[in-house]
Amino acid sequence: MLVLGIDPGTAITGYGLVRGDRPGAPTLVECGVIRTHAREPLASRLAEIYDGICQIISEHRPTILSIEDVFYSRNVRTTVVLGHARGVIMLAAQQHGLAIHEYPPAAIKKAVVGNGAATKEQVQFMLTRLLRLKSVPSPSDASDGVAAALTYLLAPRLPTIASLSRPLQPGSQVGR
């Protein structure tokens, strides 16, 4: 199985493709960033992100999208604009038939490091160990995308945002 992990942003969207269907540890296939031009209107930047995600999906054919959920910033505008970026990314994934899983930043840190309050450096260190890499994926937005992909593979039983929003049936448990 090939998982596309995304760290959404309107200036820089990080991505990582991690394969996890073979015996042994997961492997990094590719990682990178989609950069947009800061002086362009938001709609143009969103189109660049959408086109970039569609190109990655068409080229690599992942089956899963693992995307970092919105973090709530003190700046409401930042949160709203980030939501727009997530929207076009999720639209591209849905149109290409990918299963979509959303994880809060703390869940990604917990899956990769074992601590939901881990630092960026701790996450990057664990990425190099878990994926047997010689160096940290860079830039940091790309490593965040790799961490999102790895989260799906390491913690498939973690409840996702979508599963938490559904009412529980009598006798059911979260994550089952």
CA dihedral 141, 143, 145, 148 (to 10 degrees): -130
Q: What residues are annotated to the active site?
A: 7, 68, 141
DSSP per-residue letters across 46-58: HHHHHHHHHHHHH
Residue carrying structure tokens 């200036």: 11
Shortest CA distance to 50 belongs to which of 100, 97, 98, 95? 95
Backbone angles phi and psi of 94, in degrees to 5: -65, -45
DSSP H stretches of helix in 25-170: 42-60, 76-95, 105-113, 120-130, 140-154, 161-165
Both structure tokens of 33: 């960033």
